Amino acid sequence: MSIDHNLTAAIGASAEDRAGSYAVMHVLAATVIVALFSYIFTQRRGRKKVSQKSQESCVHMPRTLLTSLVTPRQLETAIAEQHNCKPVIPFVPYKWPLALDLLKRQYYILFSDNTFERLTPFFDLAGTCRIHLFGNTGYFTTDPENIEAILYTRFDDYGLGSRRLAFFSLLGEGIFGQDGPAWKRSRELIRHQFVRVQKQIPEAFTPLVDELVSGIAEAAVDEQVDLKPLMYQFTLATTTMLLFGEPHSSMAKEERDAVRDNFDYAAFGCGIRVRLADVAWLYNPAKYRNACRANDFGEEAAAEKYAFIIDFFHLVRNPVILERLLEEIASVPTGGDITRDQIQRLPFLRCWLNETLRLYPTLPLNLRSANKPTVLPRGGGSDGRSPVLLPKGAGITHSVYHLHRLESIYGPDSRVYRPQRWEDGELIRKARLGAGYVDFNAGPRLCLGKDFALMEASYAIVRVLQAYPSIRLALGTPN
Ligand code: HEM
């Protein structure tokens, strides 16, 4: 069996190859306009943006202050004193006015083949770091304690910020772009749908996994097959089954390919827009608009993209891991439905899934914005161990990609693909502490499709390995 080398890349950085030089021009032109616009905009908004409304809602404010009239600056100072906050010292160095060289660098990275790896120098600077752009200060972190505060313990202090604007054309008015009461309502509705579906899986996957298994044999030429399109079709079918009650198998191949290409292009456009933050609307070319429109699945397509594309590449390039998995699944009967119970008795399979999601997280970078002055537990002062005050409106990016590769949690071989590291159960306990492993996010926005995705992936891998136990990397494929 041959495995398309791009399978791995599709998980992390699928859209890079869509880069064209016209897009670079677009971005650079936009950059200059953005810079001028943002500078004026931020200067004007600057100091007077936090109203008394935020003073009422701020949970960290000393009670005596609640009743008095204080300026936003006084409010922040009071909170900082109360929590013994210190400023974040490390910052990303820049040379050009308004740090435009950093924006330029980011765009080159976005257009490169290994986006997340190239961001490593930024995230290696410190656990929590400042970045200045257009006269604004943003933050990024890989500190598990801070990520826990953002996603979980101080969840209410954060919103999606500019992400909503960046993704709106693609995702529309759905849960992925919502905050506050609208998000709560959507979550409740979707949760009910998932509870209903949960009772039917994994058995409901059987006809679709049958199609996948027979599709592999049909697509093989000289015993070699490109698994990527088959996996894509499988995840599309399972997701549409979940959403509409039946798989979208009526779609012709050309249509499916068009959905995929449009979605990839739209996601790439969103990548540019998210970097433009509050002025994301400046990047809105016709090709991007059309790609978003053509995705009449909107949010459903996003969920599909999220869905687990099984990383067979890692499996077939590691014969030892493949052998272990084959031994384990030998206990599962062939030729019929596979049950939840049977899947749950396959501990090494779960280790393999954990390791894939650790090194290739589906959402490698995540962004939040403080909707009131709030406190990060760590990152301040010369040793980076003091709390930090985040003013209202401050953006903070956490990199799941780099968090999941921290040596402090995963050891000196943290960058090596080694499912065995999860085997004794110790690591999962350690990593979950302080949000050091956030495969499906954490806290109130925990992925609603977690069970669905894990069952889908497990079912597919077991059946494919049962049908093709001697699966291996095609000769000539770089390992
Ligand atoms: C390996 C597969 C998947 C991974 C790793 C994953 C991961 C995530 C992550 C990290 C988030 C949080 C996003 C944020 O910060 O706002 C999320 C949210 C979500 N996911 Fe997944 N997901 C997967 C598959 C799925 C599938 C298959 C579905 C449904 C078909 C799904 C439905 C959702 C929904 C509805 C949310 C929004 C939750 C909310 O905002 O309250 N996910 N997922």
What is the whole-number distance in angstroms between the Cα of residue 161 and the centre of ligand 1?
A: 18
- Protein residue with least CA distance to atom 6, ligand 1: 440
Find the angle CA(5)-CA(464)-CA(201) to the nearest 5 degrees. Answer: 115
- Protein residue with least CA distance to atom 32, ligand 1: 449
Give the separation between CA 84 and CA 106, rounded to whole angstroms.
34
- Protein residue with least CA distance to atom 18, ligand 1: 447
Mean pLDDT over 234-251 rounds to 71
Q: Flag whether 447 is marked binding.
A: yes
- Protein residue with least CA distance to atom 11, ligand 1: 447
Query: What is the reported pLDDT for 273?
Result: 79
Query: What is the reported pLDDT for 310?
Result: 44
Query: What is the reported pLDDT for 57?
Result: 40
Q: Is the CB of 449 under 6 A from ligand 1?
A: yes
Across 145-149, 258-262, 344-348, 380-384, least confident range:
258-262
Highest mean pLDDT among 23-37, 65-79, 366-380: 366-380
User: What is the tally of structural domains in the chain?
Assistant: 1
Helices (H), 307-425: 312-316, 319-329, 340-344, 347-359, 400-403, 407-410
Give the separation between CA 365 and CA 109, rounded to whole angstroms.
14
In a domain, 64, yes or no: no
Please give the residue range of the domain that contains residue 305: 6-49+83-161+174-253+299-467
In a domain, 348, yes or no: yes
pLDDT more than 90, % of the chain? 43
In a domain, 440, yes or no: yes
Q: Is the CB of 352 under 6 A from ligand 1?
A: no
Q: Alpha-carbon torsion 119, 121, 124, 127, what sign?
A: negative
Query: What is the reported pLDDT for 21?
Result: 37
- Protein residue with least CA distance to atom 31, ligand 1: 449
Please check whether residue 209 is in contact with residue 334, taking contact to mean a CB–CB distance below 8 angstroms: no
Q: Is the CB of 435 under 6 A from ligand 1?
A: no
Average pLDDT across the chain, whole number: 79
In a domain, 280, yes or no: no
- Protein residue with least CA distance to atom 20, ligand 1: 447
Give the separation between CA 306 and CA 301, rounded to whole angstroms.
9
Query: What's at 265, amino acid-wise?
Result: Y
Across 84-98, 173-187, 306-320, 413-427, least confident range:
306-320
In a domain, 71, yes or no: no
Q: Which helix (H) or strand (E) holds 241?
A: helix 227-244
How many CB atoms lie under 10 A from the CB of residue 18? 16
Q: Is the CB of 235 under 6 A from ligand 1?
A: no
Interval 178-226: pLDDT, tens: 899 999 999 998 898 888 888 888 888 899 999 999 999 999 998 899 8
Q: What is the pTM of this model?
A: 0.81
Q: How far is CA 335 from the centre of its chain?
A: 36
Give the separation between CA 61 and CA 79, rounded to whole angstroms.
6
Mean pLDDT over 101-124 rounds to 84
Highest mean pLDDT among 47-56, 257-266, 381-390: 381-390
Q: Is the CB of 440 under 6 A from ligand 1?
A: yes
Please check whether residue 165 is in contact with residue 176, taking contact to mean a CB–CB distance below 8 angstroms: no
Query: What is the reported pLDDT for 429?
Result: 87
Pocket residue to mutate for ligand 1, from 196, 306, 450, most atoms within 8 A of Cβ: 306
In a domain, 342, yes or no: yes
In a domain, 76, yes or no: no
Q: Is pLDDT at 123 greater than 50 in this prediction? A: yes
Mean pLDDT over 82-86 rounds to 97
Pocket residue to mutate for ligand 1, from 235, 447, 451, most atoms within 8 A of Cβ: 447
In a domain, 399, yes or no: yes
Give the separation between CA 365 and CA 438, rounded to whole angstroms.
11
Give the separation between CA 7 and CA 395, rounded to whole angstroms.
32
Give the separation between CA 59 and CA 443, rounded to whole angstroms.
19
Please check whether residue 335 is in contact with residue 298, taking contact to mean a CB–CB distance below 8 angstroms: no
CATH number, position 425: 1.10.630.10
